[in-house]
Amino acid sequence: MIARYLSMIFLCAAVLAIQLADTGKAHAFSQAEVIDGFNKTVFGSEIGGFGFAGNYLRRFEKPVRFYIRSDAGAPASAKRRTQRFVGRLSRLINNLSVEIVSTEAQANFVVHLVARRNYQTTVRDRVYRGRPRLQRQVRNSRCLVRSTFSRAGIRRSAAIIVYDEGARLLRRCITEEILQGLGPLNDNATLKTSIFNDTSRFTGFQRYDRLILNMLYDRRLKSGLSRRRVQPLLPAIYRDVNRTVR
């Protein structure tokens, strides 16, 4: 009997450890860690072709209007999950205004929920029209987001999320691609506690990435600021954000 209780305790502890790892609660992040993650994700881009554009900050300077477009055969649950995540963003990211609109023409952020068989067609016809080199670059990706921007900010983002390759991939893609489309466009394999790392185990919007996004949308920053001009502002921004993000 005692052995059975002990095994139950160990099992519960293991489950709790996994849950804490996925939410980021198992680690207290230092200022240096978070600023490092901010610089590695906010400047640069996972998808090539931006050149010097990676040297300045990009984010939406206007309210983000989401339209969620799904394949005819997409399960309603995939769309509901996406809507729930989008609906939480304005509560999780200070100073970010978000709404879900009813037509694609109204949107500046379109989320395409597609079956894997329709992935390349959507890349070609809806996201990278007229950009064959970039189409080839993302051919083997699991899901993606593309943002068009200038020093004035992100004008438009489009994410492609595959819904028929398992619940875990769906959840990760919803989280990662939508968040990246808001500004942290670069992945980095050294960020072990971030979803902005294709080798990490995370699927949810955990605290490390919430810190980065809240820093990005702090009112002391704006699109077009260079990496050099942003650096002196980051310690104070981090300290304020760290007090409010739980």
Distances (CA, A) of 139 to 47, 119, 145, 204, 230: 12, 9, 13, 25, 34
For residue 107, how many other CB atoms are within 10 A of its CB? 21
- The bridge status of strand 153-162 relative to strand 144-150 is antiparallel
Query: What are the phi and psi torsion angles at 68 (to 5°)?
Result: -105, 115
- Express each pLDDT in 56-105 by its tens digit: 999 999 999 999 999 998 999 999 999 999 999 999 999 999 999 999 99
- Express each pLDDT in 131-144 by its tens digit: 655 555 566 688 99
pTM value is 0.85
